[in-house]
């Protein structure tokens, strides 16, 4: 058979992660995430908070993109964006999502599934006020996911916003705020040799968490 351009069947890598067993787990998945996140920060602090956010429309069409985790605790995992963006519209139609972290140097993934709700306006105001001014102006000027004629037009919108808020604080746009995913399921994946990866899953059961191993 003639190989086609883009054929990657011969491209392989071996995973060499260390043992990861039930005995290594914290009873709480948030505590386990905190441990792995700390180790990811120690390895590459500039990228540890990058996560894939997967949403789906009411019709079931999925979409995914990279966003940044801004804070988390037992109440959920939080990020900020434009409510009128594609992800915002999809979350309005179908308020369920999955987050996925991949930490290359550690050969680890964490998948987090659950229901999503908006954060309070007070939380959005607090975080928006902490952002660099350029990011504030960009959020005000850019209607995320909406078409625009050119980059020059976008720069013009930013310049107008800069002029509007000259010598004063930039106000948070009403269309901009935060979301929080409350996990019902969290999977911790550790790459291992010979494709025998470790997959340990927490499943919410009322106020407790059930833990089981999945086959790779």
pLDDT in tens, 153-207: 999 999 999 999 999 999 999 999 999 999 999 999 999 988 899 999 999 998 8
In order, the DSSP letters of the chain are -PPPTT--TT------PPP--GGG--SSHHHHHHHHHHHHHHHHTTTTTEEEEEEE-TT--EEEEEEE--EEETTEEEEEEETTSHHHHHHHH--EEEEEEEEGGGTEEEEEEEEEEEPPHHHHHHHHHHS-HHHHHHHHH--TT---S-HHHHHHHHHHHHHHTTTSPPPPPTTEEEEEEEEEEEEEEE--GGG--EEEEEEEETTEEEEEEE--
Q: Residue 162 and residue 209: Cα distance in Å, rounded?
A: 49
Cβ pair 58, 93 in contact under 8 A: yes
pLDDT tens sequence for the chain (216 residues): 566 678 877 776 766 667 787 788 999 999 999 999 999 999 877 789 999 999 999 999 999 999 999 999 999 999 999 999 999 999 999 999 999 999 998 999 999 999 999 999 999 999 999 999 999 999 999 999 999 999 999 999 999 999 999 999 999 999 999 999 999 999 999 999 888 999 999 999 988 999 999 999
172 is a catalytic site residue: no
Q: 195, 199, 204, 213: which one is catalytic? A: 195
Q: Residue 54 and residue 74: Cα distance in Å, rounded?
A: 21
Q: Residue 67 and residue 112: Cα distance in Å, rounded?
A: 14
**Residue 80: beta bridge partners?**
178
Tell me which residue of 94, 77, 108 sits closest to 197, measured CA to CA: 108
pLDDT in tens, 144-164: 999 999 999 999 999 999 999
């Amino acid at each position: 058979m003639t190989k086609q351009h883009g054929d990657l069947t011969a491209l392989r890598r071996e995973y060499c992660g260390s043992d990861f067993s039930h005995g290594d787990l914290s009873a709480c998945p948030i505590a386990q995430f905190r441990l792995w996140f700390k180790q990811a920060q120690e390895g590459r602090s500039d990228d540890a908070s990058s996560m894939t956010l997967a949403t789906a429309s009411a019709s079931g069409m999925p979409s995914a993109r990279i966003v940044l985790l801004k804070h988390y605790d037992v109440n959920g995992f939080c990020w900020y964006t434009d409510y009128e963006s594609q992800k915002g519209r999809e979350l309005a139609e179908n308020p369920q999502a999955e987050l996925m972290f991949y930490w290359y140097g550690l050969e680890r993934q964490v998948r987090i599934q659950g229901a999503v709700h908006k954060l309070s306006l007070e939380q959005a105001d607090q975080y928006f006020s902490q952002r660099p001014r350029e990011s504030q102006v960009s959020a005000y000027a850019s209607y995320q996911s909406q078409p625009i004629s050119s980059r020059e037009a976008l720069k013009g919108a930013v310049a107008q916003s800069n002029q509007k808020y000259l010598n004063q604080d930039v106000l948070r746009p009403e269309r901009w705020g935060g979301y929080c995913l409350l996990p019902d399921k969290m999977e911790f994946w550790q790459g291992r040799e010979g494709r025998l990866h470790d997959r340990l899953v927490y499943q919410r059961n009322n106020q407790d968490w059930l833990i089981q191993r999945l086959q790779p």
